Amino acid sequence: MVRPKGPLVRLRRALLYVVLSAIALTTLFPFALMILTSLRTGGAIITTLDQLIPREITFQNYVDVWRDDRFDLYFRNTVLITAAAIVGNTIFDAMVAYALSRKAFRGRQLILIVILISMMIPIHVQLIPIFILMNKLKLYDTLWALILPELVQGFGIFLMKQYFDGLPRELDEAALIDGASDWQIFWRVLMPLARPALAVLAINTALSSWNAFILPLILTASPETRTLSLGLALYQTQYGIDYVHSMAAASISSLPLLALFLVFQRHIIAGLTKGAVK
Amino acid sequence: MAAWWWGRRRHRWNQRLVLLLFLAPWLVSFVTFTLYPIAHSFYLSFTKYSPIRGGEPQFVGLANYERILNDPRFWQALKNTVIFVVGTIPVTTTIAVTLAVFLNERIKLRTFFRATYFLPVVTSIVVIATIWTYIYSPLGVLNAFLNLLGLEGRNWLLDVTFALPAIMVMDIWASFGYYTILFLAGLQSIPEELYEAASLDGANAVQRFFRITLPLLRPTLVFALVINTIRSFQIFTEVYVMTQGGPIGATTTLVYYLYNMGFQKFRMGYASALAYVLVLIILVFALVQMRLLRYGERVSDGMG
C-alpha cells in the first residue's frame, strides 16, 4: 500500500520526532547533571542555568568519596554480593527448573503456583522475621545476611523452566541411553544449551542485586557491610548539602551498571520485559 | 522375582532422592525466607513485641489491628500512598502508551530512543532520588530554571504541599520507560494487516487507535496497571532518601510508616500488623482492578 506524503503527514512526523526527542532529553538531563556536578570544583550551588557546565573539571570528588567516605568498601561489598547472587541464581534456579520441566511428579503444579504467588507478596511482610532470624543465626551485619535470601528467585526458576521446556526431550533420552545420570544430563546437556536464558538471568540478577536497598538497610549496621545503594542513601541523608560529593558517589554507584546496560542493551530490555507480553 | 522387586523399589527411591536434590535449593530458600517469615509475622501481628527492650512477644489478640484503625498517622500514610498511586499511574500509563505508539511507527533512531527511555529503569532508585533531591534543592536546577522564567522558586521537598507531588513527578520520570517498552512489545504483536484492512475501510488514525490498538493492547495494559499498582503501594526508598517521611508526615507512605514503626521505634508487633494491612489493601486493589478491566476476557470479545 502506498501512503500519500502530503504536507500534513510530514508535519505529523516532525511533531512525532519533536515529542520523542524532548522526552529523551528530559530523561538524559538528570544523568548529565549528575556527571557534570560530580566533576565540579567547589560548591554545587546553581543560581543561573549557565553555571551547569563546570568551568574546570576535577576528579577530586571521586577520590574523596572513594577513599575518605569508604565507597571503596561499599563497592567491594556490592560486587561480592552481586557475584554471589549471579552464581547462586544461575545454578539453583536452573536446578529447580530442571526438576519442574523434566520430572513428572505429584505437587508439581502446586509448586509452580506457590512460586508465582510468593513472587507477588510484598517483601515488607517478611522483613521483621528475616531481621529476627538473621540476629538469631548471628548473621546480622554480615554479607551472608544479604546474600542468602537472594540465592534462589522465582523469576529465574520460571525463566529457566520456560527455556528448558523448549529444548527437545530427545536430547535427554539420548544421554540417558548412553548411561548419563540426571545430574549429568542437567549439567552437560541442558545447561550448555541454555546459555541465552542464563545470560538474561545473570543480567537481571545483577541489576536487582546491585540496586537492592531494603535488605541492606535493615540487616546491616557498620560500614564494613554497607552496599553502594545504602552507602549513598546514608551519605545523602547525612551530608545533604554537599552535592558535588554526593553526585560523585551517585556516579560511582550507577556508572558500572549504566555501562553494562549500554553494552547489553538489547538483551536487558528483552529480559526485563520477558513474560509480560504473550 | 524378589530381586527384581527390590531393584525397582530402589530405583524409585533413587528417583525421589534425585528429585528432592534438584528441588532442594527452592525448598530451603522458600521455607526459610518466605514461608516461615510470612507465618511468623502473622503471629507477631497479634503480639506486642519490642526486642531491644529484651522482651518476648506478648500475645495481645487483635489490639494492634484495632489500634491501626484508630491511628491518625496510619490514615495519613494510607492517604499519601493512595494519592501517590492514583496520581502517578494514569500519567505514567498515558505517557507510556503514547510513546509506544510513536515508537511503533517506522522511525529512525528507534533503538536510541528505546535505550534512552530505559536508562532510569536500570539505575538504582537511591541514585535517582539523590539526583532529584539536588534538582529540587533550594539552590538547585529547578529553581534556577523557574527564576529564568521570572517565577519564584521554593524549597520543594520541605514544602507540605509540594513534597509529595515532587516525589510523584520523579517516579513518573523513573518508571515510564519500562512501561513504554512493555507496550511497544505488545503493539508489535498486533498484525499489520488489521491496520491495512481498516485503512481500506476508510478508518482514520483516531478510529484505528480506539478500534484496533487499544482493544488488542488490553491484556498488556491490564498487566502493566496491576504490577504498577502493586509496586506503587510499596513506595519507600524515594521517601527514605528524599524526605524521611516529612515535612510533618506529608510524604509518609504505608511502607515508610511500617519501617518507622518496625525498625526505628522497634514496635515489631505493630509493624507486623501494618504489613498485613498493606498486603490486604494491595490484594483488594489488584483484584478490583482485574475485575473492572476484565482481565480474563478474550481479545476478540473486545473487538466486537
Share of chain B above pLDDT 90, in %: 63
List the CATH code of the domain at B66-303: 1.10.3720.10
Q: What is d(CA A112, CA B113) in angstroms, rounded to the nearest whole number? A: 37
- CATH class of segment(s) A69-238: mainly alpha
B33 touches A149 (CB < 8 A): yes
Q: Is the pLDDT of residue A151 over 90?
A: yes
Contact B118 A47 (CB under 8 A): no
Contact B279 A111 (CB under 8 A): no
Q: What is the ipTM of this complex?
A: 0.90
Mean pLDDT of A243-269: 89
CB atoms within 10 A of CB B296: 9
Q: Is the pLDDT of residue A276 over 50?
A: no
The pLDDT confidence band at residue B279, using thresholds 50, 70 and 90, is very high
DSSP state of A69: S
pLDDT of residue A47: 63
Q: Is the pLDDT of residue B153 over 90?
A: no
For chain A, domain boundaries: 7-61, 69-238
Q: How far is B2 from chain A (nearest CA, A)?
A: 25
Contact B263 A131 (CB under 8 A): yes
Q: How far is A168 from chain B (nearest CA, A)?
A: 20
Instruction: Give the one of A92, A121, A237 whose C-beta lies nearest to B38's C-beta.
Output: A121
pLDDT of residue B302: 38
pLDDT tens digit sequence for B211-258 = 888 888 888 898 899 999 999 999 999 999 999 998 999 999 999 999
In one letter, which amino acid is A108? R
Q: Which of B2-6, B177-181, B213-217 has the highest mean pLDDT?
A: B177-181
Average pLDDT, chain B: 89
Q: What is d(CA B171, CA B164) in angstroms, rounded to the nearest whole number? A: 11
Which pairs with CB-CB distance under 8 Å and at least 24 residues apart come from B22-25? B22/A95, B22/A96, B22/A98, B22/A99, B22/A103, B22/A182, B22/A186, B23/A95, B23/A96, B23/A99, B23/A111, B24/A95, B25/A91, B25/A92, B25/A93, B25/A95, B25/A96, B25/A151, B25/A152
pLDDT of residue A274: 62
B29 touches A85 (CB < 8 A): no
pLDDT of residue B211: 86
Residue A201: what are its φ and ψ, rounded to 5°? -65, -45
C-alpha cell at B169: 513527578
For chain B, domain boundaries: 2-44, 66-303
pLDDT tens digit sequence for A18-72 = 999 999 999 999 999 999 999 988 766 666 666 778 778 889 999 999 998 899 9
B147 touches A47 (CB < 8 A): yes
Whole-model pTM: value is 0.90
Residue A15: closest C-alpha in chain B: B102
Nearest Cα to Cα of residue B224 among B285, B173, B178, B172? B178
Average pLDDT, chain A: 89
Q: What is d(CA A26, CA A5) in angstroms, rounded to the nearest whole number? A: 30
First to last CA, chain B: 66
Residue B59: what are its φ and ψ, rounded to 5°? -70, 125
**Rg of chain B over CA atoms, in angstroms?**
26
Mean pLDDT of A268-278: 62
